[in-house]
Structures are given as structure tokens and as C-alpha cells.
Amino acid sequence: MPLKRIIEQFGGLEVVESRCVTDEFVDLVFSNRDLPSWYNILAEQLGDPIKPQGQAPSTKDLELTSKTGGIRIEQTLFEKQLDSGTVIAKFWPWKDNRHTTLRMALLLKG
């Protein structure tokens, strides 16, 4: 599942800044006013978050995200296992309370 195919599902939503979009890594900034829509689409594609915002990350969460900047208590983490690897997606809320970064990665097996 290339990440670009997941990102296509967000077609009608505004992206404030597109930092990187490849089949293996995505880094986008969006407005918090659209957060429910972004959340719902990701949940449809990847399932419910394995670590919701406000929950302390587990050791597994930290290991899973170690190559992509880790995960903190204020962030949300989604995960989906695939034959080729694992897709993870993180919402990183900004301190301005107006923006969130979506960072996704395809972690290939091996």
C-alpha cells in the first residue's frame, strides 16, 4: 500500500504545507479545523489509533516509531500491518493549537 494512495483519500482537505510525499514517507501540515476529517479518513484506512492523544506511549510504540522521530504523549499513533511491512501515521499537534503535522511512514520488513 503506497502512502500516496492513502493521501489521495484526503483530496478535498486543505494542506497548509506539503513537506514530503513519497510512497514510503509523508510529511504534511494541516489546519486543526479539519482534524476530525483527517482523523476519520486515517481511521478508515488504518484502523483506530493504537495510541490516542493523551495516553503515554508504550515500549512497543516507542520502538515502532524510533526511526521516525519517536512518539510523545500529546501525539496520536496509527498502525497497520501489511505483507510488505507496517504503515504508521502520527498526528503531531503544534503548540499554536491551530496546526497539526501528519507524518506517515512505510516501514518495510527486513
* pTM of the entire predicted model: 0.92
* pLDDT value, residue 110: 67
Tell me the pLDDT of the chain averaged across its residues.
Answer: 93
pLDDT in tens, 65-97: 998 889 999 999 999 998 889 999 999 999 999
* pLDDT value, residue 2: 76
Determine the distance from the C-alpha atom of residue 72 to the mean position of all C-alpha atoms in its chain, rounded to a whole number: 13
* pLDDT value, residue 9: 86
Is the confidence at residue 102, as pLDDT, over 80?
yes
From the list 8, 34, 12, 32, the residue with the least C-alpha distance to 21 is 8
What span, in angstroms and rounded, lies between the C-alpha atoms of 8 and 6?
Answer: 5
Give the bridge partners for 85, in sequence order: 108
- The three three-digit cell numbers of residue 8, written as one number: 489521495
pLDDT in tens, 12-27: 899 999 999 998 999 9
For 36, the enclosing helix (H) or strand (E) is: helix 35-46
What span, in angstroms and rounded, lies between the C-alpha atoms of 41 and 62?
Answer: 24
